[in-house]
Structure 1
Amino acid sequence: MERNPWSLGWIVLMCLFVTNRARELKVEQVGPDNEAVYNHTLATTLVEYASAVYISDMTELFSWTCSRCDGLTEGFEIIELIFDVEHCLQAYVGVATNLNAIVIAFRGTQEHSIQNWIQDLYWKQLDINYPGMPDAMVHHGFYSAYHNTTIRPCVLNGIKRAQEIYGDLNIMVTGHSMGGAMASFCGLDLTVNHEAKSVQVVTFGQPRIGNTVFASYYSQLVPNTIRVTNDHDIVPHLPPYYTLFPQKTYHHFPREVWLHNVGLGSLIYPIEKICDGSGEDPSCSRSVTGNSIADHLIYYGVKLGGETWGSCKIVMDQRLAKFGSKDLGGNFVFSKNPASLLQAGSETGSISI
């Protein structure tokens, strides 16, 4: 009897689907070998937080009423919102009661065009030692963006205040692009310097941030880390990995989850491949040419990035001023207690900064 090739195709696709979905486990768990366990639902939730941090309207973001502040993130309460004008950085700390977690999100590149930023990464070299880790070297720009700006002290203060109100919650750190690099440094900082017991890091389209030695330290200290990469996204391929110089080159830490499509005839099926523990699995994103900016800007169907890449400004309603402070460098921090609500003031005009 003649076999129907389409029947075989459907069987293969269904097997792929069942295998892929079976990997989804509880949100905050690590595997038996103290390794990260990929959770599709959690990843698709955190990508919405990573998207919302790009919003430039501080009033909408602070009150969590922005166009990206609904769906899987509905009910989130911001505790601290930080905008570093000097370095064009943005982050927030808040509480997601449905996740039973403090969520910290870092914005990706915004000040310059993404094309120029990517071009710069081709030429960056490892240039500073990571404190307390012999032979571990990291990217100076990414390290400094978290450690040497207003971002770090404000994030730590936001976590402290959230814990005072809600107790010892889990901590989830996320970000896209350069925001993913900052999220990784934050997760390491919380674990090493502040002895946080339950830190989970999930990043999207993250570049490499350190050498092989650093990646080894990181994977031991923050094992509950997932780096999601999308198909031919160019940024996870940067700075370049040089096979001939494995100890000197930049090297990703595990665990990567590679989103890509497989085709069977006219059918296209999305795959979420859980990669090996090397951080540089040759069968994952390294198996393709990373040449797509478009793949960098959308993950799980969610837009990541601002409306424009060439500006670094915020907009806020004057009512927001009562919640904020501004330092000598012009950097803003907005803080509130979860029970507080934005109250309409007598002035309702907006200020462009």
Structure 2
Amino acid sequence: MEQKAWLIFVIFTCLIASSCGRELKVDHKHKLPVYNHTLATILVEYASAVYISDLTELFTWTCERCNGLTKGFEVIELVVDIENCLQAFVGVAKDLNAVVIAFRGTQEHSIQNWVEDLFWKQLDLNYPGMPDAMVHHGFYTAYHNTTIRHGILHAVKEAKEFYGDLDIMVTGHSMGGAMASFCALDLVVNHEAKSVQVMTFGQPRIGNAAFASFYAKLVPNTIRVTNDHDIVPHLPPYYYYFPQKTYHHFPREVWLYSLGLGSLVYRVEKVCDGSGEDPTCSRSVTGNSIMDHLNYYGVDLMCQEWRSCRIVMDPRVAEYGKTDHKGNFILSRAPAMRVRSNEGEVKASA
């Protein structure tokens, strides 16, 4: 019995030893995306606005967060999946000459439970058409098997038919970043979309190294922004000693962190390598902060007040909606259409 236990220990030790130095690398033989600070500060405002629960203000783009660098944005479709507490919008940003798609992340009041759950998540779904690629079932399902996907695709089609062949920019924070990534891949692979750009904030890992390589090849213009000790980009955990089985980020990461020089503190924006798991970026520190997860570039990425999945909406704006038997609904309008609310007429584009 003692010999058997010793043999098991030796085999296990050998397996660990043999995996050392064999960390899987993401195949990135294509040109890596160039980080644009100005674009990041614009897209983070869209990622913040999608947290607004007052759908009248969001649909008419009159909310407190619907200003600044995103002023004049035209929402074409606002999708709310009540059943799964998901929210996203699609619209046109004329200053960017692009369709912008934004996904809401996990609400801050439930993020602790969500983080704890992610520690134990396993790769549990084969991604269609990608040999050996595995992904997180929950993140994949949140985009592919809910009201969200149908609404997003319909709105993108409407926007392009009206405005022509615009670029597509997809963004989201936290779980919204995971959904944004699956959305971008869906647009490229299944809908032959051209010029798709992705920028996410505080995104978790969503697949293995094989998936990350396919993703990097198909959606090369992707930036994942991480912030200081934000815990979520460290989840689900990356196991160096089991490269075949572990989750793996796709490139390219930009790590925001503070550098103290005496009494002065500088904010650094480090553009990381093309591995997706650059050991000198966010992986160089412990991911132990939820506060670092909720604010990027000085912008809050959370709800203004806790409403669970309840929403607020003007009855006149509700006239633009369609609801299914589960209570999920889509607010939709033709591009450039005017919207009426109790405050009066609001033009679709400023």
Long gaps (5+) in structure 2: 1-27, 345-350
Task: Tell me whether 1:236 sits opposite 2:233 in the alignment.
Answer: yes
Contact 1:63–1:342 (8 Å) recurs in 2: yes
AA partner of residue 295 (structure 2): I
Moved over 6 A (4+): none
Whether the 8 Å CA contact 1:111–1:311 is kept in 2: the answer is no
| Preserved contact between residue 205 and residue 296 of structure 1 (Cα < 8 Å) | yes
Task: Name the counterpart of 1:141.
Answer: 138
- Mapped pair 1:152 → 2:141: no
Identity %: 74
Q: Distance in 2 between matches of 1:111 and 1:328?
A: 28
Structure 1 contact 110–312 (Cα < 8 Å) conserved = no
1:79 and 2:79 matched: no
User: Can you list the C-alpha shifts for 1:76-126, whole angstroms capped at 9, x where unaligned?
Assistant: 000000000111100000000000000000000139611000000001100
- Cα distance in 1 for partners of 2:47, 2:108 equals 17
SS at match of 1:86: helix
- More deviation, 290-299/258-267: 258-267
**Matched-pair contact (CA < 8 Å) for 2:253–2:273:** yes
| Equivalent position amino acid for 1:182 in 2 | M
What secondary structure is seen at the aligned counterpart in 1 of 2:287? Answer: coil
Q: Please tell me whether residue 181 in structure 1 is matched to residue 178 in structure 2.
A: yes
Larger relative contact order (C-alpha < 8 A, sep ≥ 6)?
A: 2
Cα distance change on mapping 1:293 and 1:147 into 2, 3 Å: same
Alpha-carbon separation, structure 2, partners of 1:298 and 1:325: 33
| Structure 1 length-normalised TM | 0.87
Task: Kindly state the Cα deviation for residue 35 of structure 1 after the two structures are TM-superposed.
Answer: 1.6
In 2: Cα distance, 1:295 partner to 1:309 partner: 19
In 2: Cα distance, 1:141 partner to 1:63 partner: 31
Using structure 2 for the length normalisation, give the TM-score: 0.88
The alignment of Structure 1 onto Structure 2 pairs a total of residues equal to 317
Q: CA, structure 1 residues 335+32, in 2 after alignment: closer, same or farther (shift >3 Å)?
A: same
Cα distance change of structure 1 residues 319 and 277 upon mapping to structure 2, 3 Å threshold: same
Q: Which runs of 5+ in 1 are unaligned?
A: 1-30, 348-353
In structure 2, relative to structure 1, the CA distance for the partners of 1:346 and 1:192 (3 Å cut) is closer
CA distance in 2, matches of 1:51, 1:228: 14
Relative to 1, partners in 2 of residues 1:346 and 1:122: Cα closer, same or farther, differing over 3 Å? Answer: closer
What are the residue-to-residue correspondences of 1:16-165 with 2, within 5 Å? 33-110=30-107, 113-165=110-162
How far residue 263 of structure 1 moved from its aligned partner, in angstroms, is 1.3
1:191-340 aligned within 5 A: 191-308=188-305, 311-340=308-337
The two structures, once aligned, show a CA RMSD in angstroms of 1.7
Q: Determine helix, strand or coil for the equivalent of 1:316.
A: coil
Preserved CA contact (<8 Å) 1:92 1:155: yes
